[in-house]
Amino acid sequence: MLTYQSVLLDLDGTLVDSAPGIVSTIAFTLKEMGREVPTMAELLRWVGPPLPQSFEVRGQMSPSEAREAVTIYRGRYLDVGVYDAKLFDGVADLLLGLRDAGAHLAIATSKPTTPATIMLEHFTLSDFFDVISCAADDETRGSKAEVVEDALAGLRQKGLPTDNAIMVGDRIHDVEGAGHHGIDTIMVRWGYGGPAEWEKAHHVIDTPRQLHQALGIPGGRS
């Protein structure tokens, strides 16, 4: 029996290993702006939060510089970076298991709508989801709390339940954004978070098989 009726899923670092395309595009952007490019380990910390925030906080840019960086990044990423990604092992079976069990699924990602849509279509994932909630392309909606709110509203508009929902993600922003709406988060260790973030989650899992069990998928597809 399903543990949760509705499951909100993050995209980058949860369903898709998109880090190669993201970090290479961030490095390209920093070079274009005459900035020093951090190590690969540091660049991986940029993956997950809204991009303008990463350029301002981690890139130590002013708001206007961050906007310029985002413009450079978007152009390069849509041409090249968005396709430099792969599904994490076990994701396809996870989504099949949830669908077969009757779960209501929503994407809740801080990735903007255009690249998120391209990625979901590229991996033929779109049809699994009742609702797809992304950051706005113009950055007017981008925080995790905002996209979670939008995902919940979309489910309700379709007459689907949200009182027994869970967020599945890999970063502290998933925990905080879902928690803003009273929703717990299961964090996956195969993404881009770390121990300090994992300890904030309701539950932490290591493998897709464990996630099957945590979500109560009958038959334990893996």
Burial 70-80 (b: 16+ CB within 10 A, else e): bebbbebbeee
Cβ pair 6, 106 in contact under 8 A: yes
Query: Residue 23 and residue 126: Cα distance in Å, rounded?
Result: 24
204 φ, ψ (degrees, to nearest 5): -125, 135
Cβ pair 193, 170 in contact under 8 A: yes
Q: Which residues are catalytic?
A: 10
Helix, strand, coil distribution of the chain in percent, nearest 5 = 45, 15, 35
Helices (H), the chain: 19-32, 40-44, 51-57, 63-79, 91-101, 113-122, 144-157, 172-179, 195-198, 208-215
Amino acid (one-letter) located at 154: G
Token pair listed for 27 = 């490095």
Please state, as a whole number, how many other Cβ atoms lie within 10 Å of the Cβ of residue 62.
10
